[in-house]
Structure 1
Amino acid sequence: MRLALLGSLCASTVASAAAQRRYAILDNDWSSTAFAVFLMALDGGIDVLALTDCTGDTWQHQETLHALATLELGNLSCIPVVPGATWPLLQTPERLQAWESIYGPLVWQGAFAAPNYTAEAQGADPTGGDPNRIVPAAFVEGLPATKPMNTTNAANFMVEMVRKYPGQVSIYAAGPLTNVALAVRMDPDFAENAKELVIMGGYVDVELLQATGSLLMANINSDINLIMDPEAASIALTAPFPNITIAGNVANQVISTQAFLDQVIQVNNSYSNLMYKYYGTEFPFWDETAMALLVDPSINTNSTNVFVAVDTAYGSPSYGNIHVYQKALAPPNTRSVQYVFEVDGGKLQDMIMHAVQYPPQVC
């Protein structure tokens, strides 16, 4: 009897521990220096089920190889890489360029910029042209030896994992929301059964910054993640996720500095070395801010709940941007989201630094 009772208690403890585990799928337009995102998740005790990708800053096929290669740096290849959408739902380079011809050009167009073979020869990721084209010179981390998962795609994988771990899977999206939207459309229960959606993107009230600042300031405040696939963003941000957190303007709060990089390299490993050499000091910690909010919500020091809608009117100058509303004035078929205004910048930098300097060993 005592053995039976002990066995029952052990089984109950195991089941309880499994129910408390935190899982995440990390969807991003991966690059040579995007690795801090998955290192932060692992450092925060989150089980990363996979890295997924879709066309954003560069083409999806190039991103897949970046994801594989940066995982290999830390012997983390037990984490699968699941390829996602090569194309947005509607947006194309030609369609974006036609819109720009009326409403003005974007400083950064991601994969939809015209090909620049000179820049590619010097190490830039591919833009324009053939979406399947791979540019080896861009792999400062080295080309990968491992292969992506070839038995499914990102949207299917998201649906399968949420069914397997209902209420426990966080969906992190720091690129266009194409894969998330496809998963929402594939399974009507997907969003409701996920734990949450955390995105990087969704700027508000930035027109004066774009108009009066430098081109770099205009670039930093343009919503390319949503503009690359406005229709997908609208689907994702109206889906019934239990919670949606938006790291929009706040993602611009903390910018990489040389002093920060000098600290990072004090612990020299493959990741800190790569970050020191290639992360740069022009841009904010965009993706890392969104990940920090997922790992430790207490980093959020100022936020509010608002209703949001993505402008999906192709004939609008704000196509691909969000509008925010109070409940009484919100359009039909919108929902409340958590919009973060401010994070603890020192804590954010500490989280990034610790994850990069001491990469978790989980494989």
Structure 2
Amino acid sequence: MAKLLRAALTALLMLAAPIAAHAQEPRRKVIIDDEGFALMHLMLLESDKVDVVGITTVSGNTWARRATAMALRGLEIASRPDVPVAEGATYPLLNSEVLTERWEALYGKLTWKGAWMKQWVEPTHQSTPAYYGPDDPVDLPWGNARLKASSEIAANFLIRMVHKYPGQITIVACGPLTNLALAQRLDPAFASLAGELVYMGGSLNPQQQLDNVSAAQFAREYANSPRREFNARFDPEAASIVSRSPWRKITVIPADPSTGTQLTPELVKAMTAAADPDLGTFIARMEPGFPMWDEIAAGVLLDPGMVSEAEDLYVDFNSQFGAGYGDMLSWREGYQPGLGERKARVVRKIDAARLDALMVRLMANSRK
């Protein structure tokens, strides 16, 4: 009997060992490279699967200076003053506001121009964003931060961190890829030292899946130009450099899966109720109706099982000034031109309900 008990106990310990080992797995180190502060940041900050070791800012939807102020204030609201913020590139590598105006005169109007946006071409549900200059003072409607940004510029911070933690850093980029391109040009080992790049950018052939007016209006960007997407179009040269850099692993979230998602009033209400009061107040101010572009990137990183359709493709971006400037280029194995394009896992569809549920659960973590 004693032998049987010992054998049973040994078997139980062997079964428990993998569980204990899994529980003790180190959290993945993440750097967020983005143009502000939103739900995507909160998802990663509140997850117990990742350790956000820094935020780098870049111009895109707004100027880098304003994005930095937003990130610092967001960290205060999220009670995460420990996360450093490094301000990044103010301008794209070559593209500019004047060059974009010239492009529009030749090839037609862009739907969304980010920091260069002054008015919509046609009426929309969204209000016209306030127009700022790159050096204008920042006064945020949700309060200004007491936290200060790092004195280190974003590209240098990125380089330093991948050298400090070789193979361990996952970069989640949800804005133009200017900082990453600069880091790669400064240090050719940069991309190969990172563990993974997950970025939201580009589009293949998005088809609107939801009957949502705000989302459909925003999707005018790719309705007649299916390969165009703002992050890549703002800095096409950077997007091309990053696509041809020697990353160990690349996951691309194009615009395509976002057409099956939206930030509904019900989801905002559920996250507000789940979060702690300060964070809930911040979430409650968010405008519903938009697709969840960046939240998909965070969601896929935290729960890869939500991906319902993906494809391995070689990816690049058109950096030639012409009608297709900034458009996504992609090839299946054997068709790529062989100019340095890297194979990437491109997410085509996700389980939107699973993403919604994950977001509510993560906001509840703020009460712990």
Both structures adopt the same fold (TM-score exceeding 0.5) = yes
Does residue 133 (structure 1) correspond to residue 136 (structure 2)? The answer is: yes
- The 1:302–1:21 alpha-carbon spacing in structure 2 relative to 1, beyond 3 Å, is same
Q: Can you list the C-alpha shifts for 1:99-123, whole angstroms capped at 9, x where unaligned?
A: 111111111110022499xxxxxx9
Displacement after TM superposition at 1:358 (Å): 2.8
- The 1:51–1:246 alpha-carbon spacing in structure 2 relative to 1, beyond 3 Å, is same
In the alignment, which residue of structure 1 is the partner of 2:63? 59
- 3-state SS of paired residue (2:334): helix
The one of 243, 246, 254 equivalent to 1:237 is 243
- 3-state SS of paired residue (2:296): helix
Point out where structure 1 has 5 or more consecutive residues left out of the alignment: 1-15, 117-122
In the alignment, which residue of structure 2 is the partner of 1:328? 334
Displacement after TM superposition at 1:226 (Å): 0.5
CA distance in structure 2 between the aligned counterparts of 1:179 and 1:198, rounded to whole angstroms: 14
Does residue 258 (structure 1) correspond to residue 258 (structure 2)? The answer is: no
Q: Is the 8 A contact 1:35 1:70 kept in 2?
A: no
- 3-state SS of paired residue (1:328): coil
Does residue 144 (structure 1) correspond to residue 135 (structure 2)? The answer is: no
- The 1:115–1:105 alpha-carbon spacing in structure 2 relative to 1, beyond 3 Å, is closer
Does residue 272 (structure 1) correspond to residue 274 (structure 2)? The answer is: no
TM-score, normalised on structure 2?
A: 0.83
Aligned length: 329
Q: Can you list the C-alpha shifts for 1:289-321, whole angstroms capped at 9, x where unaligned?
A: 001112222222211101112011112x22111
In the alignment, which residue of structure 1 is the partner of 2:4? none
1:178-189 matches, within 5 Å, as 178-189=178-189
Write the letter of the residue equivalent to 1:324.
S
Q: Is the 8 A contact 2:296 2:355 kept in 1?
A: yes
Q: Computing the radius of gyration over CA atoms, which structure comes out larger, 1 or 2? A: 2
Alpha-carbon RMSD: 2.6
Displacement after TM superposition at 1:70 (Å): 0.7
CA distance in structure 1 between the aligned counterparts of 2:129 and 2:282, rounded to whole angstroms: 16
In the alignment, which residue of structure 2 is the partner of 1:314? 321
Q: Is the 8 A contact 2:307 2:350 kept in 1?
A: yes
Point out where structure 2 has 5 or more consecutive residues left out of the alignment: 1-21, 121-126, 210-214
- 3-state SS of paired residue (1:323): strand
Q: Can you list the C-alpha shifts for 1:328-352, whole angstroms capped at 9, x where unaligned?
A: 2211221211011111212211221
Q: Is the 8 A contact 2:118 2:130 kept in 1?
A: no
Answer with 153-162 or 349-358: which moved more.
Answer: 349-358
Q: Is the 8 A contact 1:26 1:172 kept in 2?
A: yes
The one of 286, 289, 307 equivalent to 1:300 is 307
- 3-state SS of paired residue (2:81): coil
Displacement after TM superposition at 1:18 (Å): 10
CA distance in structure 2 between the aligned counterparts of 1:254 and 1:183, rounded to whole angstroms: 33
